[in-house]
Amino acid sequence: MSETTISRRQMIATVGLCAGAALLPSRSAHAARTRSGTDATFTTKDDTKLYYKDWGEGQPVVFSHGWPLSSDAWEDQMRFLAARGYRCIAHDRRGYGRSEQPWNGNDMTTHADDLAGLVRALELKAVIHVGHFSGAGEVARYIGRYGTGRVSKVVFISAVPALLAGGSSTQSSSPVPVFDEIRAGLLADRAEFFREFSAPYYGVNRPGATASQGLRDSFWVQAMHAGHKAAVDGVKAFLEAHYTADLQRIDVPTLILHGGDDQIVPLGASALRSAELLCGADYRIYEGAPHGICSTLKDRVNADLLRFVSDGSSPD
């Protein structure tokens, strides 16, 4: 696969952004965190305990995972950056992985508040936020609600926000039928649905695909650890969230990575659309690549991440 780099000067003219940023609210009681052996949790403002992993030392890079996975989906990137002088942190969203599974709160606004709770619990500043798929929506909503006072850079990978931001002339397809199919599949037989969903996710239904059965099995295991309520609600959150105002609050350097053959979040209706809403964004389109590029093209993603977080220096 070849890679095409598109600079912001080559993209559509962007709109002006809101200036200023708000610091996170001080709620020390809700910033409680605990460690037990190698496990770590923090408690959200509604007393939900969320699991997180915290590797390395240095400038913090906080990873927000996509639906329907967990923080385990980021381990290739976390190991790579932690070995190169960064503190890498990833949490399991409420309802997913090792975090608690409350009935309520499976929406983007609550996820953003949970992310704010993690940042505050660990007293993080100058954070580089990296989000994949719906995790990018979590990051966008977090900035929309809390500003960029603690944010230094943002990375969106195979991201959903621009897909559901209104008012674009470049939209090439509607995401609603796809997500309706996802919801129907979950309700009918979620175990079988997740097994089949891994094929378009990693592009194994395309000629020449190289994703292993082990990778697909890992996807299934992570997905089956998601609570059924959270997984179904997550699809509803995709359909109802609108990120235009959130994206317009991003006033820090932003990198967008996207597969040119993303069957889950099509390129023309997502990364290219965000050119109308993001100021200062740089783009790397991986031609012919699928949605799950953090695994299928992890070396290329890691190199692009390192270049971006280290202000352009070459990867090791």
pLDDT of the residue at 175: 56
Omega of the bond leading into 68 within 30 degrees of 0 (cis): yes
pLDDT in 10s for each residue of the chain, 316 residues: 544 444 443 433 333 333 333 334 433 334 456 655 456 999 999 999 999 999 999 999 999 999 999 999 999 999 999 999 999 999 999 999 999 999 999 999 999 999 999 999 999 999 999 999 999 999 999 999 999 999 999 999 999 876 655 434 334 444 566 778 888 999 999 999 999 999 999 999 999 999 999 999 999 999 999 999 999 999 888 767 888 899 999 999 999 999 999 998 888 765 566 667 786 788 899 999 999 999 999 999 999 999 999 985 434 4
Rg, the chain, Cα only: 18
pLDDT of the residue at 179: 77
CB-CB contact of 97 with 52 (8 Å):
no
- pTM recorded for the entire structure: 0.85
- Structure letter (DSSP) for residue 266: -
Residue with tokens 């290329």: 300
Alpha-carbon distance 171 to 265, whole Å? Answer: 12
Tokens representing 243 are 């990120």
CB-CB contact of 255 with 130 (8 Å):
no
Tokens representing 307 are 């270049």
Alpha-carbon distance 263 to 127, whole Å? Answer: 30
For 165, list phi and psi in degrees, rounded to 5.
-95, 130
Q: What interhelical angle do 213-224 and 176-202 show, nearest 10?
A: 140
Tokens representing 280 are 């200062």
Alpha-carbon distance 291 to 201, whole Å? Answer: 5
Alpha-carbon distance 148 to 153, whole Å? Answer: 9
CB-CB contact of 143 with 249 (8 Å):
yes
Grouping H, G, I as helix, E, B as strand and the rest as coil, residue 10 is helix
CB-CB contact of 76 with 293 (8 Å):
no
Tokens representing 156 are 């969106």
CB-CB contact of 83 with 112 (8 Å):
no
Which domains does the chain carry? 3-309 (3.40.50.1820)
CB-CB contact of 37 with 48 (8 Å):
no
